[in-house]
Amino acid sequence: MGMPVTLEVVDAAASGDLFEAVFAYFEYVDHKFSTYKEDSEISLLNRRELALEDASRDMKTVFALAEQMRLQTRGYFDIRLGDTVDPSGLVKGWAIFNASELVRQRGMKNYYVEAGGDFQAVGKNSQGQDWRVGIRSPFNLREIVKVLEISNRGVATSGTYIRGAHIYNPKNGGKPATDIVSLTVIGPDIYTADCYATAAFAMGKEGITFIENLEGFEGYMIDNNRQATLTSSFSRYVSHA
């Protein structure tokens, strides 16, 4: 997936087999959905060497979820750009969520799964407290602008400060979104938080209002003038330690 993946499990019953299963799952997702691998299933679809009706169940699931998100975000979340399809904005959060479910199904109750800065936290950390995750400054990656305390929630950040402009506004001819540089979303799970963060980022400065109007979600936006805007209940997740 071109990004680091971290799993921490506090439960004493955690075994090496569990960690191997989680990382093997991420490798499977990467091989299937990577747009950088010529032999991936998504690359075969984009080259018209494979029809969607003949694709794997996971591929069909991702396409169906992407269509749901496109409708729920008024078209701002769209995996199609021209003649190609790139589901990366959905797949990362979906993979983290599925990996978290894999850990839960093994009986674990206190853990987190993180990939590329997106975070699914369950239960408590080794000190019996909510898990802590930082939001980096998009202008100085050594600086943490907020520390969040999270349990049974997902946290996703969309931005241009690591990968450059890679999120496009489908409503203006597919031009990159440029008026904000970072948008963090907290939600009930990482899959929906990640999708909504991507869609809200594509909306530009209006994206934070979109998040405000979503029940159960909170957001924190930083624009290109270094101005931060947050939703009405975001502060309840901010650590004051």
Tokens of 121: 């936290």
CA distance 114 to 157: 12
What's the structural domain count of the chain?
1
Q: Does the pLDDT of residue 168 top 80, yes or no?
A: no
Is-contact 202 179, C-beta < 8 A? no
Which pLDDT band holds residue 81 (cuts at 50, 70, 90)? confident
CA distance 121 to 119: 6
When mean pLDDT is compared across 5-19, 32-46, 168-182, the lowest value belongs to 168-182
Q: At which residue do the structure tokens 């000190």 appear?
A: 127
Which of 228, 234, 202 minimizes the C-alpha distance to 69? 202
What is the arithmetic mean of pLDDT over 27-34? Answer: 96
pLDDT digits over 171-209, tens only?
Answer: 666 566 678 999 999 999 999 999 999 999 989 999 999
- For the chain, where are the alpha helices, taking DSSP H only? 16-33, 41-46, 57-72, 88-105, 190-202, 207-212
Predicted TM-score of the model (pTM): 0.91
Q: Does the pLDDT of residue 78 top 60, yes or no?
A: yes
The proportion of the chain whose per-residue pLDDT surpasses 90, expressed as a percent, equals: 81
CATH at 147: 3.10.520.10
What is the arithmetic mean of pLDDT over 81-92? Answer: 90
What is the arithmetic mean of pLDDT over 27-43? Answer: 96
pLDDT digits over 199-239, tens only?
Answer: 999 899 999 999 999 999 999 999 999 999 999 999 999 99
What is the extent of the structural domain holding 217? 5-237
CA distance 177 to 169: 6
